Structure 1
Amino acid sequence: MNISIDWLAFLQVFGAALAAGTVVVAFYALGLRMLVRAGRAPVVAPAEFTDAITVITEKEARRAAKAAAKAARKSPLTDGQKRVALVAAYASFFLCGLAVLGGLLLIIFGH
């Protein structure tokens, strides 16, 4: 029994995985950035984990929400620019999801 490895196919899979990971992370980061520019900074409620290193308190969560609301009020962007940033954020999230869905479809039906 002789086992041989197709190194070219291995490099193709590695390159595709690296490119896909980069695209997904880039679109997600761009979407978050545009969401913040639109004045809709995501504020996440604190979660209770049994083995968490740090859990923020309700007071810290309220302070973060207040800071996000204050930053949104002080935004130098016009309402039109905020709307464009919001549309760009949703488009980036959509493209991120489309890249993930494309990868899943490639895995499922690509044989």
Structure 2
Amino acid sequence: MFVRYRAAAPNRHGRYPGVFALVNGLAWSGSLTDEQQRFRHRENNWFQENLVDPGQLDPSPYDRTRYPRAEAWFKSSAVQFLSRVEGYLAILDAHGIEWIRLASDRPGRIVYDDPFQIIVDGRP
């Protein structure tokens, strides 16, 4: 089983950003409180230290020409990562940004796979 948290509605490009992108967008627009900003820095750093960034290993999974609907999903067994998403969801709730949780055994064609996450090219 795989899990993804994302925007409930598409952005202006027709994509559904994940919760990290949504919270980072709030930060870049100056909308976060000081406490939310501290949380974002701390947790983003934790994820950078503990989760492989597939784009740093090989940029091809996020190449929009090859994989126009690339999405990252956590494996349901990656509890240490999934549990930390809750704080990001609380920030989105506080700012009235709707999000949804998706769960699937077959979220799409896998183009990257590691012990904690996959990247898929859109829907099957």
Whose strand fraction is larger, Structure 1's or Structure 2's? 2
Whose helix fraction is larger, Structure 1's or Structure 2's? 1
TM-score by length of 2: 0.28
Higher alpha-carbon Rg? 1
TM-score by length of 1: 0.30
